[in-house]
Structure 1
């Protein structure tokens, strides 16, 4: 009888172990499947980018004009005759010429209607008049789309870039550096007609499962590109830097709000700092990005990134000297120290 009971207990324990193993395997599969990378050209952003480019093209430096590739030939040149549209003319007045203005289109749904649960104060701070008047933007974009008979038959080969981001284990590198654990999906909005700026998207309702950023289309010799080849963005030093930089904003946004004081903000508005760089959030993230690249790609790559930093960002980089190797040092602590060091540097 005792022998039978022991045998029964053995069987039950093996069943339990099998169940636990299956649960673990199931969890590993779920985690792997949940951590996805998607890259796409978003119709809403491209529609707004088209209007934006029509408005400012003749007023910006040639170095900031779109790459003259196949996408430019098919999705910009045919629309040049619509520069008199009210949306284009409104932008052309110069109220807000920031290169990230077209990204406001992500605050609209697929039917170009304003999304719900948007924080209007964030929209205003990032997009000024346009952020305050999202209903107007919605109506104008819809009218612009109908007027120009907007085409979305894009041909872009994302596979090389996607494969490189996956093989470089971007999320793991970021988690290791920031000493945290996230398993969020990465969603990249590639912006082919944008050679001005990339940026993280933090004005939508918070979703911990998705990190979003807009990736500009950077080319070194715009006029020499072949227009008969399908656009194929690739992993290079520029896109590597952008990827770690824009993702870093999503890791640091809450700490910036926590440690950037009103007193520091008032100090930076003093006239004596009028000619200095005072975007502290950007200063910090640039320094962080350079250090991340050094940690993961070696001293030579790190030195290259360091040499191109703003002087204040070099302060950030140098503050991180012992952070990564010190297991007892939290990122919250080092971020607070960085903020204090930067504030002391403005004297």
Structure 2
């Protein structure tokens, strides 16, 4: 009888102990995996509107890293914020990290990552074009050509401003981002002239705005930039870039041949928007070949791109197609392999 009582007591203690462990585990699981959240408001802002990020469900007094993914999947850091005693934060800011007057339109996604809790949450906004002033009837403003290839110079002339008036200039790109071009001064008859050189800029439709700071008059001139080829190939070379497709935060391997021994070979890339970007200059080896690796980081836009290698002495040129897809991580740089 005493033995049976002892066994029952032991069984009861074991059940209680197991229940206590289950409760502790449940509480630990809840505290470790409690749902966090991130909201961005307004959800449909216009360019240059203030967006407020609100995070909840993080650990108290935790540092939370916030970054943003642009419509072209480039990634930029926003801030590191500190949560309050309730594990929450509120962070208002203007979404402009590229130095532009207005950021591009499209869908942006914010990521908030708790450095202690490991919780990661997301919120998206759809940025619409900002409303600007319409062209004034008193102003005449236009470009000398309505279309031009990359490398062209557009000459803009305007009239209808005040004599000696300062006129602010800004340029709207095909993706609707806007860049401040500074100011010019109208002549004694209220006439302005401005020359804009379009090198390897994105192809598409642009609009240049000229706003009189004293007269409050606005002129808008639209033009189109077409793809251009500013090199003249005298012979063909070979360029291979592999793998054919890869994600951000990976290496692309370059191998080229058909150049002159010891000549400088310039490499550039034509981006998905048609803009061109210099990558680097490499000296070909004794066989007229070269090898290099390029690290593609989170600030490289995703999509199809074309790499070009051009021999500065021989005039030999080669191209290779490449596809970049979204990835994660940090690093950058072109490495010349001997």
Q: Is TM more than 0.5 here? A: no
**Which protein is bigger by CA-based radius of gyration?**
2
Range into which the TM-score falls when normalised by the shorter chain: under 0.3
Greater relative contact order structure (CA < 8 Å, 6+ sep): 1
